[in-house]
Amino acid sequence: MAHELEFYIDGQWVKPSGNRTLGVIDPSNEEVFATIALGEQADVDKAVAAARAAFPAFAATSKAERLALMRRLAEAYKKRYDAIADILSREMGAPKELAHRAQAAMGTAHLAKMIETLENFEFEELRGTTLIAKEPIGVVGMITPWNWPLNQIMCKVAPALAAGCTMVLKPSEIAPLNAIIFAEAMEEAGVPKGVFNLVNGDGPTVGEAISRHPGVDMVSFTGSTRAGILVAKAAADTVKRVHQELGGKSANIILDDADLKKSVKLGVESVMRNSGQSCNAPTRMFVPEKLHEEALAIAKQVAEPLKVGAPSADGVFLGPVVSEVQYEKIQRLIEAGIKEGATLVTGGTGRPEGLNRGYYVRPTVF
């Protein structure tokens, strides 16, 4: 990877229009280990112009041509699989096993499923005397998060390729390096120039520019509710299609007839996996009142032995959380729980014993 200070626009790696940069921090030691360029409105304008120019020809390609492109992408991605997993582990703190077995693997899985879907998908359907034709929407702006970076990138890019859309991607600036490797895979796969464009940057600048841009027909955003509101407002003036997957975690409801030990164990481990940074983490567990004390004892027994440590170490279940901002937010929430009178079963504020730097959080159960 040699393109940290460049963007991929119109089929080539280009210098940014401005000179803003951002250090990428390794959350395990709080040190900057790479620097990326941050885009401006002018960079988004160039990327959107390239995507608009490429759209008519790409929209006219056959299903067979798009399948061939996606299969080449699958091969190019596989060549970079270990590099993607390694960089995900370093830039977001995922334990190496999770990064290889799940984080990087989701990119492969989503692309394979989209290839299978496209193989069996019909774009035209005759209902009586009415022909229903499904057409590509146009230029898609994509804004992706840091907690499952490649998962979300592939969840947006693969369907867009299958449909014949062109695109501009802004990955999270907190974990951006995996997206650069992904762009290199797209280049090797021979994606036609202008079909896929990558502009790194922050939300208030590049994210806002993509959401507001009149040349973008649809914006797909995954992230916080707060940012999602801003995206929707910015998109409203041009009445573009808006697709959002916003923040929120689910309740875990365990009924009387469940295997309590197994269910609580699975629930606690599901919360702690990916250091609690998954939108499907079942962070609120509801159990029958008569089983409450037993469930607490099981949760404590499961949470306390979970190993917290450097993502590169063997047997680590929880790496650090992704950033200082997230670490401080979690510490405030734990403090609030204690002050408001919740029963602290295990964990608490501060780093786990033996860890004096890095954004490590103690596995905590109230």
Active site (catalytic) residues: 245, 279
Rounded distance between C-alpha atoms, residue 320 and residue 194, angstroms: 37
**CA 23 to the chain's CA centroid:** 19
Residue 103 CA from chain centroid, whole number: 9
Token pair listed for 64: 């067979």
CA dist 60 and 44 (Å) reads 24
264-297: b or e for each residue (b if 16 or more CB lie within 10 Å)? bbebbebbbbbbbbbeebbeebebeeebeeebbe
In 3D space, the residue among 218, 84, 233 whose CA is nearest the CA of residue 156 turns out to be 218
What are the CA-CA distances from residue 123 to residues 57, 116, 131, 140, 217 (Å)? 17, 15, 10, 19, 20
Tokens coding 318? 């929880």
